[in-house]
Amino acid sequence: MHLHSCLSPCGDNDMTPYNLVNMAALNELDIIALTDHNSCKNCPAAVKVAEQVGITLICGMELCTDEEIHVVCLFPTLEAAMEFDKLIEPLIPNVPANADAFGDQLIMDDQDNIIGRYDKLLVTAANISIENVQKTVKQLGGVAFPAHIDKSSYSILSSLGTIPQECEFKAVEISARGDVAALKSQLPQLEAMPLLLSSDAHYLEDINPQRAWLMLEKPTAGEVIKALSDGCVEFGRG
Ligand SMILES: [Zn+2]
Ligand SMILES: [Zn+2]
């Protein structure tokens, strides 16, 4: 539920929509989400590849809020994601992309052709508060959850020290090496929430083979969003 393409400044240029979807298919994943930093502009290509390959691609974004908190936002359709992209774009500061210090921020088509380079740096904080993220995403039929909450930077715990009720998060993501037991004792509300252990993959070799599962009516973006919105879902690993 958390993959970066070559559009993310920190995403490897080999993480083209074509490559990342095919790598996920090789690893027998049924559903993946593309969540570039502050942008959904490689989702159109990724959706096309996923349709060809026969897996479900959820269009998403890893948004950086003005508190420097990363939040994963998932949408039911490409159209909803692109609507969100349009809302966020003016909120991204006008800092020029710097391909020497960061990546090329490539926008691709579904056949590995470069169709553009995004010119504002995508690792800056967008001018939206953490409290407004879930409300905005929900209006578009999506769901948002705080990313890698255990990390010492760009996480809700490093920034706020807790997960405020008013943010309305019903699921959280923990980084692959996160200590789930320690987090649960610190935050009892996690007991009742789906905890996503992320790959947060920036390189093709970081896309893990199938290990986690969610019980869904059908493998669609809508069903995943429903599962992560009401906190009531059967899930597991193995
Ligand atoms: Zn992040
Ligand atoms: Zn990430």
Nearest to 38 by CA among 11, 60, 13, 20: 60
Euclidean distance between the first and the last CA atom of the chain, given in angstroms as a whole number? 17
The ligand that comes nearest to the alpha carbon of residue 65 is 1
**Distance in Å, CA 139 to ligand 2 centroid:** 23
Average pLDDT taken over every residue of the chain: 92
**Domain boundaries in the chain?**
17-237
Q: Which CATH number fits domain 17-237: 3.40.630.10, 3.40.50.800, 3.30.70.890, 3.20.20.140?
A: 3.20.20.140
Going by pLDDT thresholds of 50, 70 and 90, the confidence category of residue 232 is low
Provide the pLDDT for residue 238: 56
**Distance in Å, CA 234 to ligand 1 centroid:** 26
**Distance in Å, CA 62 to ligand 1 centroid:** 7
> Angle at CA 35, nearest 5°, toward 184 and 212?
50
**Residues, CB within 5 angstroms of ligand 2 (ion):** 62, 200
**Distance in Å, CA 226 to ligand 2 centroid:** 22
Asked whether 222 and 228 are in contact (CB, 8 A), the reply is: no
Write out pLDDT tens, residues 136-152: 999 999 999 999 999 99
Which tokens sit at 85? 């992209």
Provide the pLDDT for residue 236: 66
**Distance in Å, CA 61 to ligand 1 centroid:** 10
Lowest model confidence (mean pLDDT) among 17-26, 112-121, 191-200: 191-200
**Distance in Å, CA 62 to ligand 2 centroid:** 6
The answer, yes or no, to whether residue 233 has pLDDT greater than 70, is: no
Integer Cα distance of 189 and 184 in angstroms: 8
**Distance in Å, CA 77 to ligand 2 centroid:** 20
**Distance in Å, CA 231 to ligand 2 centroid:** 22
Write out pLDDT tens, residues 175-199: 888 898 999 999 998 988 888 887 7
Provide the pLDDT for residue 194: 83
The ligand that comes nearest to the alpha carbon of residue 151 is 1
Segment 202-229 mean pLDDT: 86
**Distance in Å, CA 124 to ligand 2 centroid:** 13
Give the amino acid at 19.
Answer: N
**Distance in Å, CA 117 to ligand 2 centroid:** 19
**Distance in Å, CA 69 to ligand 2 centroid:** 11
| Percent share of the chain, pLDDT over 70 | 96
The answer, yes or no, to whether residue 25 has pLDDT greater than 90, is: yes
**Distance in Å, CA 125 to ligand 2 centroid:** 14
The answer, yes or no, to whether residue 159 has pLDDT greater than 80, is: yes
**Distance in Å, CA 191 to ligand 2 centroid:** 24
Provide the pLDDT for residue 200: 82
Q: Judging by DSSP bridges, how do beta strands 195-197 and 172-174 pair with one another? A: parallel
Going by pLDDT thresholds of 50, 70 and 90, the confidence category of residue 231 is low
pTM > 0.75: yes or no: yes
Provide the pLDDT for residue 75: 98
